Amino acid sequence: MTGTTDAPQRSLPWWEAPLATQPVDAVLSVPGSKSLTNRYLVLGALAGGGSRLRAPLHSRDAHLMLAAVRALGASVEEIPGDGDFGPDWRFTAAIPTDTPDAGGAAEAPRSVDCGLAGTVMRFVPPLAALTSGPVRFDGDEGARRRPMGAVLDGLRALGVEVEDNGRNALPFTVHGTGSVTGGRVVIDASASSQFVSALLLAAPRFASGLRLEHAGPPIPSLPHVEMTVQVLREMGVVVDDGTPDVWTVEPGAVRPFDVAVEPDLSNAGPFLAAALVTGGRVTLTGWPEHTTQGGDHWRHILPAFGATVTRGPDLLTVTGPTHLRPVDLDLSAAGELAPTVAALAAVAPGRSRLHGIAHLRGHETDRLAALREELTRAGAPTTETEDGLVIDGGDLHAADLHSYADHRMATFGAVLGLVTPGVRVEDIATTAKTMPEFADLWARMLAGLA
Ligand SMILES: O=C(O)C1=C[C@@H](OP(=O)(O)O)[C@@H](O)[C@H](O)C1
Ligand SMILES: C=C(OP(=O)(O)O)C(=O)O
């Protein structure tokens, strides 16, 4: 099966991926979780009342979410914190909800730039529906290709007016009336777990709460839905998720909070992968004891390649094997890890199979097509299946690897480059979507300084 790739037409700078001259040996910390930061920003916008995010992620996706909740009327100030990667955020006012629609015809629409952030384009429209007046959403060119239908149809089923010229995609305008009645909604969330999270996060403020049902093929990335349920419960919201594919959220207040954001375990992936491909050792600090982050799956994925994973208090250490083994993995629960897993499979001699990830075609780019193209270009012949990739690894060579404006395609290239002379990665700065510090941290890891 083949797809089309959308390698950029513009000429972007090339980054010479550093080659590891010896096994890496580093202890490092990574910035905060995108998924948690952007959920807390949404919940802070509903709670207000001095809610504080400690050590939040400072990246393009997080700053777009911050700008979005501010555009909807929340007030957030930056205050010094203890995090290594930037200041804390404190809400001084929630978004105004339950305000009657002023009649609004002449009101200029507020606008939300979604960039390429799935969390912004999916989580913010239901918030916009709770405020009064039109809100126009748009984003990067690539964002207009990402699936949105289930959120927009879900909102329409709840009585919210959404104007999208029949595209079911960005750009669109949500016409908020200051309140959403709520009730029962059925959606197909097989293209993204974010459709479920989006409606659940705003649901405590729907007048009669929400009963959300999924009907369709299985939902991918289920730990992200569990994360949504957990953060809602932490803020005092009553959620029932006892029946598979059905969630009920009781109407009620979102309690103001003070939380420390966990490190981003998905973004820890390329650094852990460095230990595997170089036969070295990498320790991540701040690894949570319990977490809903999909990135916690590294503890199970990396041993399949032959790595040893050990836990210490607040630490995870990964030691690479002498030779990587090929793998056969279902990544449906943690699809965002697939580009890094694919890089490891390309280094491992033999045939690896990744499945359960058809929905990656709707991520930042069509990741199955992009990975097929770039892996094959680098000497690991790859084919697409209906729901994954078959990768023949072990014989990589120099290549110029495209990043498709996708942070995880860029870090994928960096992993290949560690053990393959002559790899260049296009536009490493695209990692700013979730980790602006990537190239710097990568260099520090290689220097043993991190
Ligand atoms: O809710 C979230 O924070 C996310 C959910 C997942 O989306 P999909 O279900 O679309 O894979 C994940 O891949 C994405 O990086 C972040
Ligand atoms: C799929 C991803 O992002 P988004 O939140 O934009 O969906 C990702 O980070 O891998």
In a domain, 65, yes or no: yes
> Rounded to whole angstroms, how far apart are CA atoms 270 and 16?
16
> Do 221 and 333 contact (CB within 8 A), yes or no?
yes
In a domain, 349, yes or no: yes
Mean pLDDT within 29-52: 97
pLDDT greater than 50 at residue 224: yes
Q: In the listed set 238, 260, 282, which residue is the last one of a domain according to the structure?
A: 260
Task: Give the pLDDT band of residue 3 (cuts 50, 70, 90).
Answer: very low
Mutate to test the pocket of ligand 1, among 192, 365, 368 (most ligand atoms within 8 A of CB): 192
Active site residues: 336
Neighbour count for residue 3 (Cβ, 10 Å):
14
Q: Tell which atom from ligand 2 comes closest to the C-alpha of 194.
A: 7
Based on the domain organization, do 221 and 80 belong to the same domain? Answer: yes
In a domain, 221, yes or no: yes
Mean pLDDT within 417-434: 98
Based on the domain organization, do 422 and 275 belong to the same domain? Answer: yes
Based on the domain organization, do 380 and 411 belong to the same domain? Answer: yes
Task: Give the pLDDT band of residue 28 (cuts 50, 70, 90).
Answer: very high
In a domain, 362, yes or no: yes
Mean pLDDT within 122-149: 98
In a domain, 383, yes or no: yes
Which helix (H) or strand (E) element contains residue 440? helix 438-446
Burial of 164 (0-12, 13-18, 19+ CB in 10 A): middle
Based on the domain organization, do 165 and 226 belong to the same domain? Answer: yes
Share of the chain above pLDDT 70, in %: 95
Q: Is 192 in the pocket of ligand 1 (CB under 6 A)?
A: yes
Mean pLDDT within 293-297: 97
Domain that includes residue 276, residue range: 14-30+263-446
Residue 236's pLDDT is: 98
319-333 pLDDT tens trace: 999 999 999 999 999
**pTM for the complete prediction?**
0.96
Q: Is 114 in the pocket of ligand 2 (CB under 6 A)?
A: no
59-107 pLDDT tens trace: 999 999 999 999 999 999 999 998 899 999 999 999 998 766 554 444 6
Based on the domain organization, do 238 and 310 belong to the same domain? Answer: no
Residue 246's pLDDT is: 98
- Domains identified in the chain, total number: 2
185-196 pLDDT tens trace: 999 999 999 999
> Rounded to whole angstroms, how far apart are CA atoms 418 and 436?
20
Task: Give the pLDDT band of residue 450 (cuts 50, 70, 90).
Answer: low
Based on the domain organization, do 160 and 191 belong to the same domain? Answer: yes
Residue 2's pLDDT is: 37
Mean pLDDT within 340-367: 98
Based on the domain organization, do 89 and 238 belong to the same domain? Answer: yes
Q: Is 35 in the pocket of ligand 1 (CB under 6 A)?
A: yes
Q: In the listed set 231, 260, 289, which residue is the last one of a domain according to the structure?
A: 260
Q: Is 197 in the pocket of ligand 1 (CB under 6 A)?
A: yes
Give 32's strand partners. Answer: 263
Q: Is 115 in the pocket of ligand 2 (CB under 6 A)?
A: no
In a domain, 7, yes or no: no
Break the chain down into helix, strand, coil percent, rounded to 5.
35, 25, 40
In a domain, 6, yes or no: no
Q: In the listed set 260, 292, 317, which residue is the last one of a domain according to the structure?
A: 260
Centre of ligand 1 to C-alpha 193, Å, is 6
Based on the domain organization, do 67 and 129 belong to the same domain? Answer: yes
Centre of ligand 1 to C-alpha 328, Å, is 22
Residue 342's pLDDT is: 99
236-273 pLDDT tens trace: 999 999 999 999 999 999 999 999 999 999 999 999 99
Based on the domain organization, do 114 and 65 belong to the same domain? Answer: yes
Task: Give the pLDDT band of residue 4 (cuts 50, 70, 90).
Answer: very low
What letter represents residue 50's amino acid?
A: G
Q: Is 408 in the pocket of ligand 2 (CB under 6 A)?
A: yes
Long-range CB contacts (< 8 A, 24+ apart) of 165-172? 169/144, 169/145, 170/114, 170/121, 170/137, 170/138, 170/139, 170/143, 170/144, 170/146, 171/136, 171/137, 171/138, 171/139, 171/144, 172/125, 172/136, 172/137, 172/148
Residue 48's pLDDT is: 84
Based on the domain organization, do 301 and 192 belong to the same domain? Answer: no
pLDDT greater than 80 at residue 108: no
Based on the domain organization, do 22 and 55 belong to the same domain? Answer: no
Centre of ligand 1 to C-alpha 349, Å, is 30
Share of the chain above pLDDT 90, in %: 93
How is residue 158 written in tokens?
């709840």
Supply the mean pLDDT for the chain.
95
In a domain, 21, yes or no: yes
Mean pLDDT within 24-38: 98
Give 134's strand partners. Answer: 175
> Rounded to whole angstroms, how far apart are CA atoms 28 and 440?
12
Centre of ligand 2 to C-alpha 106, Å, is 36
Any idea which ligand is nearest the CA of 331?
1
Q: Is 293 in the pocket of ligand 1 (CB under 6 A)?
A: no
Centre of ligand 2 to C-alpha 99, Å, is 33
Mean pLDDT within 372-400: 98
Q: Is 433 in the pocket of ligand 1 (CB under 6 A)?
A: no
> Do 283 and 317 contact (CB within 8 A), yes or no?
yes
CATH number, domain containing residue 389:
3.65.10.10
Mutate to test the pocket of ligand 2, among 144, 192, 195, 364 (most ligand atoms within 8 A of CB): 364
Based on the domain organization, do 221 and 285 belong to the same domain? Answer: no
